Structure 1
Amino acid sequence: MHQIIAYIKFLLKSTNQHGVHSPFVYNLLTKSLYKTEKRPAFKTIRAYIKAVRLDNRIISIKDFGAGSRVFNSNERKVSDIAKNAAISSKRALLLNRLTSYLNIETALELGTSLGISSTAITAGNQIKLTTLEGCPETSNIAREYFKKFGLNTITLKVGNFDELLSEEHWRIEIKDVTPALEHQKKQHSLDLIYFDGNHQKEATLIYFNQLLPLAHNDSVFIFDDIHWSKGMEEAWEEIKAHPSVRVSIDSFFWGLVFFREEQEKEHFTLRL
């Protein structure tokens, strides 16, 4: 019921490119998210999704997050997870267009699941992605399909997020530090961080603040399911109000934040 009410509110507030006066956001919509061209990478993404949706193996899920609203048991078919709990085909293609348009080179994903989002981020793009997953059996499925589809720029790490994020060796060092980054004493950075592993307010805010030092001026953070619950909506409000966040976009299923210091602080509610 919460999500239904939240979606009605979203529809009443949301607009498209015609209600956007920011050149950066307008171009993001018209040159990326609203474009309908077919990228060669789409074939790989669709094939990957088809493969996991046809996989009838049963695995045991270890869930560290907010739990499932679809499944009553931790014993689940891979195909059922792919059809009911994974990112949709439409959103996977959107994510692929976005990462290409923004010239993402280094990325971190919290919550691999079956690897559909990982595939969407990297397919056809020269992106080094580190993806973290808490469930061993789910990660085994993802690792198997990464190998099958030749997605060799993905590094998959398994374990508790808190422990994995405390490690230093997965961070990707900047080769050419810009004066702005040097001034801010940022020794490492990531172009994209995709948050999709724990849909709870406290965890979301902890990970946001913990990973914020890895953002540079052109980074983007994407938060999945920002209207999942009242707590997630509260987390989203705190995130977009943070002084480091200059541009935020609520697309209902995603919350996107940018750190472009050259822009005035603005928030957009947009239909994708």
Structure 2
Amino acid sequence: MFFQLWEYLRYFLKKENEHSIHSPYYFQCYLGLQAYLRQNKKGNRKLEDLRRSFLHEATRIGSRDYGAGSRWLGRGDRKVSTVARRVISPLRTSLLYSYFCQLTPAANVLDLGTSLGINTGYLAKQVSGTLYSFEGDPNLLALASAHLGQFPTIRLVPGNLDKTLENVVRRLDSIDFVLMDANHRFDPTMAYFRTIFPKLHESSIVVVADIYWSRDMKRAWEQLKGWPGVSGSLDFFACGILFFRPGSSSTHLVLDV
């Protein structure tokens, strides 16, 4: 907790707004995000009703977590409401993911960490092809699949991401958008990125969630920003955005949202 508070203080002191952005591309990108957040400030009615339902659900479920601590929860039976308070992103973050997915062709989209499926639903609204959503916890996947069936573009992928991701990526010609919100450790995060990287292209966007959740995640974020082929990044504290636009000067911004 102290680590996160310290990192947030550093973020707060460094964050900028549109007046500090010199790149025309990132300037328009950021203005578009602000407009999108204003236009959709109430979110999607069905998904927000579902969010509220999860937050008040007293049913208890078991747990299987392949990433130690990656869901902020211990093992054993837990109330759905307790899980929801820990794993469901705020509406503003869900909208941020949706906006950046919208900026890509969104034909092949990967959601690494279905959880209860709220973010998955927001991504599905933008997908023109197929959204592959991965979840290792069968109890969370059962709750998510009960409402994600309304989205014909979604393909739920159960099981350990360490084993399932490569099988899916191998079948794809390219990947347009990725939300990385699974195992919050350095080595798995880097391994997942290495798996998807060969299929990324100049219009791809990768979002890394919880980049200041731990020292491990901060270290992963710093390495990903400097990865050969990464042309720029946006740091919103809750997540980081990676771009792959060849020929553009390297741009790394810390922005308010």
Q: Distance in 1 between matches of 2:217 and 2:163?
A: 23
1:261 equivalent in alignment to 2:246? yes
Q: Distance in 1 between matches of 2:44 and 2:103?
A: 15
Structure 1 spans left out of the alignment, 5+ residues: 173-187
SS of the aligned residue for 2:204 comes to: strand
Q: Deviations over 1:176-218 (max 9, x none)?
A: xxxxxxxxxxxx1111011000111111111111110110111
- Any conservation in 1 of the 2:111–2:179 contact (CA below 8 Å)? yes
Q: CA deviation at 1:125?
A: 4.7
| Cα distance change of structure 1 residues 108 and 168 upon mapping to structure 2, 3 Å threshold | closer
Question: What is the aligned partner in structure 2 of residue 144 from structure 1?
Answer: 146
SS of the aligned residue for 2:48 comes to: helix
Q: Distance in 2 between matches of 1:69 and 1:139?
A: 14
5 Å matches for 1:49-198? 49-67=51-69, 71-123=73-125, 125-147=127-149, 150-168=150-168, 171-172=171-172, 188-198=173-183
CA RMSD, aligned part only?
Answer: 2.1
* Count of matched residue positions in the alignment of Structure 1 and Structure 2: 255
Counterpart amino acid of residue 193 in structure 1: V
| Cα distance change of structure 1 residues 232 and 203 upon mapping to structure 2, 3 Å threshold | same
Question: What is the aligned partner in structure 1 of residue 26 from structure 2?
Answer: 25
Structure 2 spans left out of the alignment, 5+ residues: none
SS of the aligned residue for 1:84 comes to: helix
| Cα distance change of structure 1 residues 200 and 124 upon mapping to structure 2, 3 Å threshold | closer
Q: Distance in 1 between matches of 2:21 and 2:87?
A: 32
Q: CA deviation at 1:72?
A: 4.1
Counterpart amino acid of residue 61 in structure 1: S
SS of the aligned residue for 1:130 comes to: strand
Q: CA deviation at 1:165?
A: 1.8
Moved more, 262-271 or 38-47: 38-47
SS of the aligned residue for 2:120 comes to: helix
1:248 equivalent in alignment to 2:248? no
- Any conservation in 2 of the 1:45–1:92 contact (CA below 8 Å)? no
Q: Deviations over 1:79-102 (max 9, x none)?
A: 221122221122112222332344
Question: What is the aligned partner in structure 2 of residue 183 from structure 1?
Answer: none
| Cα distance change of structure 1 residues 169 and 100 upon mapping to structure 2, 3 Å threshold | closer
Q: CA deviation at 1:127?
A: 4.7
Q: CA deviation at 1:69?
A: 7.7
Q: Distance in 2 between matches of 1:265 and 1:51?
A: 43
Q: Distance in 2 between matches of 1:130 and 1:14?
A: 33
Question: What is the aligned partner in structure 1 of residue 213 from structure 2?
Answer: 228
What TM-score does the superposition give when structure 1 sets the normalisation length? 0.87
Q: Distance in 1 between matches of 2:71 and 2:112?
A: 20
Q: Deviations over 1:90-145 (max 9, x none)?
A: 21122223323444232001111111110111126535200111111111111112
- Any conservation in 1 of the 2:169–2:196 contact (CA below 8 Å)? no
- Any conservation in 2 of the 1:248–1:258 contact (CA below 8 Å)? yes
Q: CA deviation at 1:37?
A: 1.0
SS of the aligned residue for 2:89 comes to: coil
SS of the aligned residue for 2:176 comes to: strand
Moved more, 104-113 or 33-42: 33-42
- Any conservation in 2 of the 1:247–1:265 contact (CA below 8 Å)? yes
Q: Distance in 2 between matches of 1:155 and 1:162?
A: 18
| Cα distance change of structure 1 residues 41 and 270 upon mapping to structure 2, 3 Å threshold | closer
What TM-score does the superposition give when structure 2 sets the normalisation length? 0.91
Q: Give identity over the alignment, percent.
A: 29
